[in-house]
A = this chain, B = another copy of it.
Amino acid sequence: MRRIKLVVAYDGTNYQGWQIQNNGETIESTLNRALLELTGEEIHVHGASRTDSGVHAMGNLAVFDTEARMAADKFSYALNQRLPEDIRIQHSCEVPPDYHPRYQKTVKTYEYRILNREFPLPAYRLNTYFVYYPLDEERMRQAAAYLVGEHDFRSFCAAGAQVKTTVRTIYELSVERQGELLTIRVRGGGFLYNMVRIIAGTLIRVGSGDWEPERVKTILEARDRKLAGPTAPAKGLTLMSIVDEAEQENLSADRPLIMR
């Protein structure tokens, strides 16, 4: 029995999120089915991040155990032949039998993308959130600076989420504009439920001029979800990468990711 790790990219538009649900297709159920077809085994993948319905990924992680004798790096090709076009394995390799991506110390990078112009563009409809009123990215950057570091992010956690602690650490929170495309990029060790989307919804309020950047400091300190902005729509969010803390130093933090 070997444990195989997969790097998984998907367009979440047509899925009810990662995790198996009673109704509707999920990334997890689709991967399990492709693995059954490939190996003949009833395999259940374990994902690093259970992304919500409509959220996309360039690099989610999953592991599974198999008796199949195929070379570990060949699973990517063999699975891609059996997966729908909106899910593509980017890498496969063998990992130690006790490796589980959810219990590793990892650094996750998310991007929240906003199309900021007068009219929507069809080519961007699936993976950006469309905002027609002008957003000032400099104000958004000022607001973002209050959130970097270790904080109690209770104000930025979906109400009712059950977690031991709402303290998290954000290593980087940048706001970049390329023409009409705004990208909020956030890197951290772990995130609360809906945290990135609530941060995005809050920064949009600041960018529009509704709120002053300093208000984000007040929101953070209040530890009250009701004070933060709305949860921005799932379609704008992409899980870019999950990297083991130990591996991180070997990687360029800003390796060229083309999805911009």
Question: Contact residues of A with B, CB < 8 Å?
Answer: 9-11, 56, 58, 76, 80, 85-91, 119-127, 178-181, 238, 256-259
Contacts and interface: CB of A to CB of B under 8 A. Distances in A.
* Copies of the chain in the assembly: 2
A14 to B, nearest CB: 10
21 contacts: A9-B119, A9-B122, A9-B123, A10-B122, A11-B125, A58-B121, A76-B119, A85-B120, A85-B122, A85-B125, A86-B122, A87-B122, A88-B120, A90-B119, A91-B119, A121-B258, A123-B127, A124-B259, A126-B126, A179-B257, A181-B258
Contact of A123 (B56, B91, B119, B179): B56
Contacts of A122: 9-11, 56, 85-88
Contacts of A121: 9, 58, 88, 258-259
B89 A119 contact: yes
Given A9-B121, A86-B122, 14 more contacts: A9-B122, A11-B122, A56-B122, A58-B123, A85-B122, A86-B125, A88-B119, A88-B121, A89-B119, A90-B119, A121-B259, A123-B238, A123-B259, A178-B258
A138 to B, nearest CB: 19
A259 B179 CA distance: 10
Contacts of A119: 9, 76, 80, 88-91
A178 to B, nearest CB: 7
A26 to B, nearest CB: 15
A32 B259 CA distance: 34
Contacts of A85: 120, 122, 125
Contacts of A80: 119-120
Give the most central of A9, A87, A178: most B CB within 10 Å.
A9
Contacts of A180: 256, 258
A80 B117 CA distance: 14
Contacts of A259: 121, 123-124
A151 to B, nearest CB: 31
The 5 A-B pairs of least Cβ separation, nearest first, read: A11-B122, A179-B256, A179-B258, A86-B122, A180-B258
A83 B56 CA distance: 25
A180 B9 CA distance: 16
A220 B11 CA distance: 40
Contacts of A181: 258
